[in-house]
Structure 1
Amino acid sequence: MILHDFPLSSASYRVRIVLNLKGLAYEKRNYALRAGEQRAPAYLDVNPAGLVPALETDGLRLGQSLAIIDYLDAVHPEPRMIPADPVARARAMEMALTIACDIHPINNLRILQYLEHDMAQDKPAVDGWYRHWVEQGFATLERLLPDTPFAGGDAPNIVDACLVPQMYNARRFKVDLTPFPRVTDMADRAGALAAFAAAAPPKV
């Protein structure tokens, strides 16, 4: 099993967490995103989107972190990341997608580079953009999170796998977390678990 990765990619970080939680061995291949290595023809054969992560396993090449997590749940169902119960599944996906669709895509590296290079925005403006969308998403999660030890319930699931990397980046960009005590508490509780800690990027 090969994970095409970049340590600071929050989408890749999600997949590393899930692989660790499931106890799956894998090989990492890292790409320097700012240097454009993910757009090299050889990598585009693996993932035509030119993004990380991508997973190669048993002849399958798969991009998109949530698709990868769904696949891993199907072939390695324990511990389960996406609940089987329809209501619990819908709630988990609502929260995971708040991060994966409402926060992350408009804050990932290619968007920040576009703002900086193509739109001629300075670093304070770009960082302000980043913080704005994190704050919007975290405000939603603060209301959605259940009264349980983890965002996923009694044990971490796909929500925690999305939340912990987003919290890591929120701190990198100095988001004021004071209005989001439940989000912060749940992210920190999950992040302290061994599977999460082992997936974390190096200190930057």
Structure 2
Amino acid sequence: MSMPVLYDYWRSSASYRVRIALNLLGIPFETVPVNLLEKEQKAPQHLARNPQGLVPVLDIDGLRLTQSLAIIEYLDETRPGSGLLPPDPAERARVRALAQAIAADIHPVCNLGPVGHVMALTKGGDEVRVAWMQKFIGEGLAAFETLLDGPATGLFCHGDRPTIADLCLVPQLYNAHRWNSDVAALQRANAIAQRCAKLPAFEAAAPRT
């Protein structure tokens, strides 16, 4: 079977999550860049891969998969022992809730499309973009920090090995730093991200500036 192909953009936090997952599971893959700033995601070639005009898209196992969390859950379910989701239903629910607190609540409103539309409506410039990012990233991660306040949190978001929750947290903190969002007080989240950064799978997936 051919090598998996990941259609991604280097700064896309959704793509970043999938890169980490593939690295953690030791799955070699080919990268095909899709430049979001040049609107390549809206070109017919990419819309044929994903009608939503989004990244990532992963070709693997004879399938074409979209949506980062769905991709990661597929990898978890088809690669035994991955640990990206715990086996216990209650623990899985907690990990999914943590992941979705970022992927479903912070990430969508900070995507290029919504932010560009807000700037057009307000006729604002970069100051509007920055203020928007800081508000939603800052507030969302502050809530995430509170969600980590419990005995189920270990060295990582859930227990002592990375799960899908950590795969969402690290890219979102990258975005927080990119937009100068004040996240210094997030002691648990920052400590977890620092541990993740020491793991080769996370380091290799990080955006290169």
- Taking structure 1 as the reference length, what is the TM-score of the superposition? 0.95
Which segments of 5 or more consecutive residues in structure 1 lack a partner in the other structure?
A: none
Q: Deviations over 1:134-181 (max 9, x none)?
A: 121112111111441111311011011000000001000001112311
Partners of 1:22 and 1:78 within 8 A in 2: no
Matches within 5 A, 1:38-117: 38-117=41-120
Match of 2:200 in 1: 194
Matched, 1:9 2:15: no
State the Cα distance separating 1:118 from its structure 2 match. Answer: 4.6
CA distance in 2, matches of 1:92, 1:13: 18
CA distance in 1, matches of 2:103, 2:19: 15
CA distance in 1, matches of 2:80, 2:29: 17
Instruction: Name the aligned partner's letter for residue 158 of structure 1.
Output: I
Match of 2:184 in 1: 178
User: How has the CA–CA distance of structure 1 residues 83 and 120 changed in structure 2, closer, same or farther, with 3 Å as cutoff?
Assistant: same
Instruction: Name the aligned partner's letter for residue 193 of structure 1.
Output: L
CA distance in 2, matches of 1:202, 1:116: 27
Match of 1:134 in 2: 137
Quick one: which of 161, 165, 177 aligns to 2:167?
161
Which segments of 5 or more consecutive residues in structure 2 lack a partner in the other structure?
A: none
The two structures, once aligned, show a CA RMSD in angstroms of 1.2
Q: Deviations over 1:12-37 (max 9, x none)?
A: 00000000000001110001111111
CA distance in 1, matches of 2:61, 2:196: 30
Once the two structures are overlaid, the 10-residue window that deviates more, 117-126 or 49-58, is 117-126
> Matched residue pairs, number?
203
State the Cα distance separating 1:47 from its structure 2 match. Answer: 0.8
- Taking structure 2 as the reference length, what is the TM-score of the superposition? 0.93
